[in-house]
Structure 1
Amino acid sequence: MEEENGPRPPAKQPRRRIPKDPAPRFKAPDREALALAQRLVPREHLARRVQRVVERFEMRAVEARYSALGQNGFAPRQLLGLWLYASLIGLHQGTRVARALQTDCALRWLSGGHCISVAVLNRFRAENAGLFLAALEETVRWAVEEGLVRTQELGIDSVRLRAHASRSQVRVHSQSLRRLKHLGAVELDSLDACQREQHSRQVRKHQEAVRLCEQRAAASVVLSNPRAALMQFPGNGVHPGHRLTVVASGVTQRLVVGVLLTASGNDKGHLEEAMQRTRRVLHTAGVPLPTRLQVAGDSGYWSEEDLRFAAHQRPCVDVLLNPGPATGPLANKPGMLQREAFILQHARRAVVCPAGRTMRGPVLNHFDRCEVYFGEGCPTCSLRPRCTHARRRTFSVRWEYEGALEAMLARMRQPDAKARYLQRMATVEPVFASLQQDMGFRRLSSRHPPAIDAEVFLKLLAHNVSRLLTRSRLFCVFVLFEAPAPPPASQPG
C-alpha cells in the first residue's frame, strides 16, 4: 500500500514561539516618578551609596533566569538594592517595605519609580539565598583586595534570633517522655469512649515528638519550623529561635567572613564547621590556603569537640578560647577538692589522688564515654571530708579531652595570648550590635528553610556593605584633610 500511494509526508512539528531577543527584559523605569525622586534624594544619601555598591555585584547568573517572553519583571539589581537599603534603615518585612515605597523617595528612586508589590518583594528574597551568600563572599573579596581583612584578628561568637513559630508548636523530648509515662499509667477501662479517643491522641502526639527528637538528635523540635529549636533568650524567657554563628575579621573593620546557622541551644561543637566555612570563603576571596588563621572565642566553645579541633588543627588555625567550667561527669563537685588537685599521668593513663595514692581502675563508662577511677584507702584518709561524701571517691577522665585541655591552657598562658584575646569582643560583638540595635533585626519573618537562609544572609550582606561604605567615607575624609596644599602662586616681580 505504501508503494502504491507513495511515502507518507512527515508529521508537522508544533510551532514554538522563539523570541527575537533571547536576552531577558526588565520593566522600564517610571520616568515621571523617578525624576521626582531623583530631585528629592541628596547626592550623598545612603540610598545612592548603596546603589553604587550594588552596581559592582556580579548578577548575570541571576538575570539569566528571567525570560524575554511575557510581561517584563523587575530587574534583580533593583530589588537587591531595595532590600539592602530597607534592611539598613530597619525595614525587614515585605509589607512594610511595600507600604514605605508609596511615600519614601529614596526607596522609590531605588525601585525605578515603581511601587512593587509585597508578593514580588517576598518572592525575590525567598528565592535568592544563593545570590545573597555570593554577594556576601564578594564583599569579602573586595575587602581582601583592599587589605581590610585581618586573618590574625578573627573572632567567633553567636547570637540567638527569634524564630517565626509559636510556642504551642514546640515539642521537648524530656517532657514528652515524662508525659508518655503518665499516660501509660492511666486505666483505660475507667475511661469512656470520648476520653479514650483523647487519650490515644495524646499518646500519638508525644510518641511522634519523641521520634522526631531522636531522629534529629535534638532536645526539642518545632513542628512548624524545622530549622528552629527551643532556646533561652536573655531576659525574655524561652522561645523558638535560631542560633547565628558569625566569624568576623578586624578590630576596626568588623567584616563578616564566616556564617553558620543552626538550631542548637549552645555554642558547643560549632567551631570546626564555622572555621571550615571561613577558610573556604577566604580562599575564594584570594587568601592563600597555607595562611595560618587566628581566631578567639568565648567560654561557650570550651567543649571536647572544639578543644580537639584546636589541638589537631594548630598548624592551620591558632585558636584562643576562654577557659570555661567542665560539665557532666567531668564537672567539679561543689565544696569538694577540685580536679586540679588530682595528678593525671598520661603516659601510664593513671590518676593519683591528692593523698598521693594511685587510684584503681579504669572502668569504662559507655554512656558518658569516659573512664572511671576509684579511690584507695578513702575510709581512713584524712582528706576524705574535703574529697567526697561517699564511701570512696570516683574520678572520671576523658584522656583525649584532658590532653587538648592542657594544650589550650598552655597556649592561653603565653604572653601574646591575653592581649590578643581581649580584642575578641571588639571584633565580633559589634556585628550583633549592628544587626539588633542599628537595624532592629531580632526576629525572622519566615519559617521555610530557604527563606530563613536568605533572610539571614541578606542582613549580614547589609552589615558588610555598611562597613565598606563607612570605610570609604573615612578614606575620602582622610584624603581631603591629608592632601598637600598647592604651592603658593609666584609673586609678580
Structure 2
Amino acid sequence: MAHFKTPDYGLKMIPVDFSQQVLPGSIEFALCHLVDHELDLSGLRSGYRNDAGGASAFDPAVLLKIVLLGYSRGLVSSRAIASACVSNVLFMAVSGDSCPHFTTIAAFVSGLGEEVGRCFTQVLLVCDRQGLIGRELFAIDGVKLPSNASKAKSGKRSDFEREAAKMEAAVRQMMASHAASDDDTNPHTEGEHARRTRERLTREAAQIRGWLERNPADRRGPRGAVRLSNRTDNESAKMATGKGVIQGYTGVATVDARAQIVLDAQAHGSGSEQELLIGAIDGVKAYRSAQTAICADAGYHSEANLKALSVRQVNAWICDNQYRSRDPRYAGQSAHKSKPDPLWDKSKRPKKPSCFGVSEFALAADASHCTCPAGKRLYSNGSDCTIGGHKAMKFSGAARDCEPCALRRQCLRKPDTTRVRQVAFFMGKRDGATSHTERMKQRVDSAQGKRMIAARFATVEPVFGNLRHNKRLTRFTLRGRTKVDGQWKLMCLMHNIEKLAHHGYAG
C-alpha cells in the first residue's frame, strides 16, 4: 500500500509577507488597485478633524477595502467582517493588518451617505473606460429584501393610538385591582410578575405616544393614499413577496447588457415598482444614447409610466401582465400553477357554470334595446360610451323582469346581491384613442419584442442571483432609506468591481 505524507493543518508560526498575498488577476488585487489609484476619497477623509489632536483614525480607504472584500466573500454583518480582519490572512493583507472594531465598521457603512454614490460613479467611469458598457440595452428590475425593522410594529396612526390606549387601560385596571385588594382587612402585595407586566405595558405605551408625537401624520403614497408606518423604521414598507410578507426595502438596479454592469442602484421603501421606474430611467440618463433600449418587467407597467417614457422619447419595452397569455410559447403554463405537490390529484374536476355571454344577447336592428336568453328586453342606458378607448353601447335589464327570472343564476355572477343584468356591446376603437398600453402591447408582441423581453431576463436576473445567492445578501442590516440605499449601492459597487476583475482590469 502506498505511503503518503500526512498534511498538518494545525497552528503554525510562520512569517507572512502581506504584499505577496494579494495576487494579480484576483478580485482583491483589482479592489486594492481601484481604491488606491482610481477613487477620489477626499470627501470621506474631509470628515476627520484629528490633525491637531486626538487618537489616529482608520483610513477610509482601508475601511472601504475591508467592507467590499467582506461583501465579495458573503460577509454582510460588521461583526463577521471584523472577525475576518483578525483571523484571515487575506483580510490582514488587504487592510495592512488593521483590526477595526465591528462598531467602527458599522459606523463607516451607515455614515457613507452621498459619498458612496460618488464612489459608485467613479467606478462606472472606469468600467466605461474598459469598454464594459455597451449602451445597447438597459434592463431594470428590483428585489424586495427585509430590513432591520419589526413587521409587528407596522400600522396606521389610528392603529398605534388604539394599541397605546389598550395598554394604558390594562395598566389602570391592574392598578385598580391591586388597590381594591390592598386594604386593612385583606392586605395584598403585588406579585413580581404583575409588577414587571405593568412596567412593561407602561413603558411600551409611552414609547408609542412618543412616536406619535414625533410623527404627526400618516405616510402617504404619490397619489395620497395612506401607507402603513413602522415604529422601528418608518421609511421601510410592508410588502408582499413570493415567500410571504416582509418589512423592508426594494432594491432597484439598472443593468447594461454587455457585461452586466450595474449603472444605477437605488433602494426605496415601497413595494410598488410602478412608481420607481421613472427614477431609474432618470438615473441612467448620462449613459443612455438615442439608440439605447430600456426593458422592464410587468411590475413597472402602467399607462402613466408609458406616457412619461413617450414624452421623454425613451426607446422602451415594458411588458404587461397579460404578455405571457398572448405568447403561444407559454400556452398551458397556467395549468401547472395549481399543482400543490408531485402527487396532486389529476382527476377532472367539474367546472363552475359560466354566465350568459354577450353573444347570447340579441341586439335590435335600431339598437334601441337588446333581448336576453329569457326573451326579456334590456333597455339602453348609454348609447355612446367609451370603455378602455372603445366605443360601446350599454344596456340594463328591468328589476321586474330580472328578479323573478328562472335563469337568474345562469345570468348573474352574484345573483343574491345583484338585482339586474347589464350588457355592453363594443363597436370598435375610438378614432385617435389608442392608448400607450395598446401601442406597447403591439411592440412587445412582435418578434423583436420577444427577443428584447428575453434579453432583459438574461441581463438583470443573474445580477440578483449573484448578490442574493453567492454573496448571501438576504436582508439589509441598517435602518432608514439613506443608509439602506448606501448599503445597496455598496453591494452593486462590489458586483461591478468583480466584473472589472474578471475582464482583466489591473491584471
Q: Same fold (TM over 0.5)?
A: yes
- Aligned residue number for residue 91 of structure 1: 75
- Give the Å deviation of 1:292: 4.1
1:227 to 219, 222, 235: 235
- Aligned residue number for residue 48 of structure 1: 29
Q: Which amino acid aligns with 1:65?
A: G
Q: Which range is displaced more, 35-44 or 426-435? A: 35-44
- Give the Å deviation of 1:218: 4.3
Q: 3-state SS of the aligned residue for 2:117?
A: helix
Q: Which amino acid aligns with 1:91?
A: L
Structure 1 unaligned segments of length 5 or more: list them. 1-32, 327-333, 340-352, 477-493
**Quick one: structure 1 residues 233 and 415, their matched pair in 2 at CA, closer, same or farther if it must change by over 3 Å?**
closer
Q: Which amino acid aligns with 1:376?
A: F
- Give the Å deviation of 1:207: 8.5
Q: 3-state SS of the aligned residue for 1:65?
A: coil
**Quick one: structure 1 residues 99 and 363, their matched pair in 2 at CA, closer, same or farther if it must change by over 3 Å?**
same
**Partners of 1:338 and 1:438 in 2: CA distance:** 52
**Quick one: structure 1 residues 359 and 423, their matched pair in 2 at CA, closer, same or farther if it must change by over 3 Å?**
farther
**Quick one: structure 1 residues 88 and 127, their matched pair in 2 at CA, closer, same or farther if it must change by over 3 Å?**
same
Higher relative CO (Cα under 8 Å, sequence separation at least 6) belongs to 2
- Aligned residue number for residue 415 of structure 1: 447
Alignment pair present for 1:438 and 2:448: no
- Aligned residue number for residue 314 of structure 2: 317
CA contact (8 A) 1:436 1:442 kept: yes
**Quick one: structure 1 residues 471 and 42, their matched pair in 2 at CA, closer, same or farther if it must change by over 3 Å?**
closer
- Give the Å deviation of 1:193: 8.6
**Partners of 1:129 and 1:445 in 2: CA distance:** 15
2:91 to 82, 97, 107: 107
CA contact (8 A) 1:375 1:392 kept: no
Q: Which amino acid aligns with 2:159?
A: S
- Aligned residue number for residue 360 of structure 1: 382
**Partners of 1:117 and 1:163 in 2: CA distance:** 23
Q: Which amino acid aligns with 1:176?
A: D
**Partners of 1:246 and 1:354 in 2: CA distance:** 55
Q: Which range is displaced more, 34-43 or 429-438? A: 34-43
- Give the Å deviation of 1:321: 1.7
- Aligned residue number for residue 12 of structure 1: none
Q: 3-state SS of the aligned residue for 1:422?
A: helix
- Aligned residue number for residue 375 of structure 1: 394
CA contact (8 A) 1:244 1:259 kept: yes
- Count, aligned residues: 401
- Aligned residue number for residue 345 of structure 1: none
The alignment's C-alpha RMSD in Å is 4.8
**Quick one: structure 1 residues 153 and 107, their matched pair in 2 at CA, closer, same or farther if it must change by over 3 Å?**
same
Q: Which amino acid aligns with 2:31?
A: V
Q: 3-state SS of the aligned residue for 2:57?
A: coil
CA contact (8 A) 2:354 2:410 kept: no
CA contact (8 A) 1:267 1:300 kept: yes
Equivalence map 1:79-478=2 (5 Å):
79-171=63-155, 176=159, 211-214=217-220, 217-235=225-243, 237-250=244-257, 252-280=258-286, 282=287, 291-313=290-312, 316-324=313-321, 360=382, 375-376=394-395, 378=397, 390=418, 391-393=420-422, 403-472=435-504
2:46 to 64, 70, 77: 64
Deviations 1:268-307 (A, max 9, x none): 2221111011214x2xxxx66xx34311111112223323
**Partners of 2:176 and 2:120 in 1: CA distance:** 56
Deviations 1:195-226 (A, max 9, x none): 99999x69979988994245884432211112
- Aligned residue number for residue 347 of structure 2: none
- Aligned residue number for residue 187 of structure 2: none
TM-score (norm 1): 0.68
CA contact (8 A) 2:132 2:259 kept: yes
Q: Which range is displaced more, 119-128 or 61-70? A: 61-70
- Give the Å deviation of 1:72: 2.8
**Partners of 2:81 and 2:102 in 1: CA distance:** 8
**Partners of 1:337 and 1:108 in 2: CA distance:** 75
**Partners of 2:237 and 2:254 in 1: CA distance:** 22
Deviations 1:34-88 (A, max 9, x none): 9643344545443223111223112233333334322332222222111111110
**Partners of 1:361 and 1:262 in 2: CA distance:** 46
CA contact (8 A) 1:170 1:223 kept: yes
**Quick one: structure 1 residues 325 and 45, their matched pair in 2 at CA, closer, same or farther if it must change by over 3 Å?**
closer
Q: Which range is displaced more, 262-271 or 138-147? A: 138-147
**Quick one: structure 1 residues 336 and 412, their matched pair in 2 at CA, closer, same or farther if it must change by over 3 Å?**
farther
Q: 3-state SS of the aligned residue for 1:245?
A: strand
Identity of aligned residues (%): 18
CA contact (8 A) 1:311 1:407 kept: no
TM-score (norm 2): 0.66
**Quick one: structure 1 residues 166 and 136, their matched pair in 2 at CA, closer, same or farther if it must change by over 3 Å?**
same
CA contact (8 A) 2:411 2:421 kept: no
- Give the Å deviation of 1:163: 0.7
CA contact (8 A) 1:323 1:409 kept: yes
- Give the Å deviation of 1:124: 1.8
**Partners of 2:381 and 2:434 in 1: CA distance:** 17
**Partners of 1:418 and 1:358 in 2: CA distance:** 42
Q: Which range is displaced more, 164-173 or 128-137? A: 164-173
CA contact (8 A) 1:299 1:322 kept: yes
**Quick one: structure 1 residues 151 and 323, their matched pair in 2 at CA, closer, same or farther if it must change by over 3 Å?**
same
